Structure 1
Amino acid sequence: MEPGSTGRRGRAPRRTEAVIRRAVARDAARLTRLVRTSRAYEGPYAPMVAGYRVGPDYIEAHRVFVAADGATGRVLGFYALLLDPPELDLMFVADTAQGLGIGRLLAAHLREEARGAGLTVVRIVSHPPAEGFYRSIGAEPVGTVRAHPPAVMWDRPELLLPVDSP
């Protein structure tokens, strides 16, 4: 691999100015595509997202936020925050945007939203390969959520993200 290359399509990622905005119903197809094509869900994890859908009704019912390229509007990632009980329901970063700080940008925004809603902590049931990311932003492991076949075939780490942590 060449220095500076990430191995993604043979190019190093370019820096981008991302803006975070509230998702709208017309984002549903793009968010669904981002989930279904995520390389984080290849192999044994693929069945989990094969038929997954982020519908307009979901976007309208929950606090869903999109990170978009400020110049092109291209969706770089998104998250969904549930308030009662407080939980990160979804967080995805597009494969092509990995390594650009989009996940950290979304996490910082998540904390602002949670703080504004009066929350002190947000529960995260993590995709196993993403646990390291959540721990790196300050989430603390508190247990394991057991598999629920056939929908979820593997145990998942459970973490709590303090809202007031940096």
Structure 2
Amino acid sequence: MQPRITFTPGTTAVRQAVARDAKRLTRLVRGSRAYEGPWAAMVAGYRVGPDYIEAHRVFVAFDTDDPANRVLGFYSLVLAPPELDLLFVADGSQGRGIGRLLVEHMKSEARAAGLDRVRVVSHPPAEGFYRSVGALLTGTVSANPPAVAWDRPELEFLIP
């Protein structure tokens, strides 16, 4: 499968993930500083496998000028039921608009798939980011120990 590439202004582009991206995406999730301290248990054994990439719409952001083709961030859109399942930006790439780029790309993919809304169950510290890019708070998802030991905000993107 040839990955589809969407070029954006500057040197950041978005392409569809392929199975060989799995290890890089897993490292990005497990190494995220957003999940240090009390949050660490949530991602300690997390794995983004080739099967997951093939089953969902997973897209990666990368720097077109980087010969190492490092992943700057990624997201996963699940179609049924519609949910932004994962969205991570590499620690060293945060603050450069990559998260916003990925959200806009996700909205475009959702629109193309005929979705009118996309649910997000957010990591609590990321709620402000999601709200800043247009997600609306719809409720709270209760803790589900031992996997998730804290309540999480539930948000929704409306897809016009």
Say which of 105, 114, 120 aligns to 1:109.
105
Structure 2 match to 1:147: 143
Distance 1:145 1:39 in 2: 23
Equivalent residues, number: 150
Q: CA-to-partner distance for each residue in 1:104-144, whole Å, 9 max, x for gaps?
A: 00000000000000001100000000000000011000100
Q: SS at 2:28's partner residue?
A: helix
Say which of 1, 16, 39 aligns to 1:22.
16
Distance 1:59 1:45 in 2: 24
- Once the two structures are TM-superposed, the CA of residue 19 in structure 1 deviates from its matched residue by 0.6
Structure 2: runs of 5+ lacking an equivalent: 1-9
Structure 2 match to 1:131: 127
Q: SS at 1:148's partner residue?
A: coil
Q: Residues 64-103 of structure 1: matches in 2 within 5 Å?
A: 64-72=58-66, 73-103=69-99
Distance 1:141 1:111 in 2: 17
Q: Residues 45-56 of structure 1: matches in 2 within 5 Å?
A: 45-56=39-50
The structure that has the greater radius of gyration is: 1
Q: State whether structure 2 residue 22 is matched by structure 1 residue 38.
A: no
Distance 1:71 1:47 in 2: 35
Structure 1 match to 2:152: 156
RMSD: 1.1
Q: CA-to-partner distance for each residue in 1:61-84, whole Å, 9 max, x for gaps?
A: 110000011111210000000001
Distance 2:12 2:45 in 1: 28
Q: What amino acid is the match of 2:155?
A: L
Structure 1 segments of 4+ aligned residues over 6 angstroms from their partners:
none
Q: What amino acid is the match of 1:92?
A: F
Distance 1:100 1:59 in 2: 25
Distance 1:83 1:147 in 2: 24
Q: What amino acid is the match of 2:128?
A: G
Say which of 55, 61, 64 aligns to 1:61.
55
Distance 1:45 1:124 in 2: 18
Q: What amino acid is the match of 2:39?
A: Y
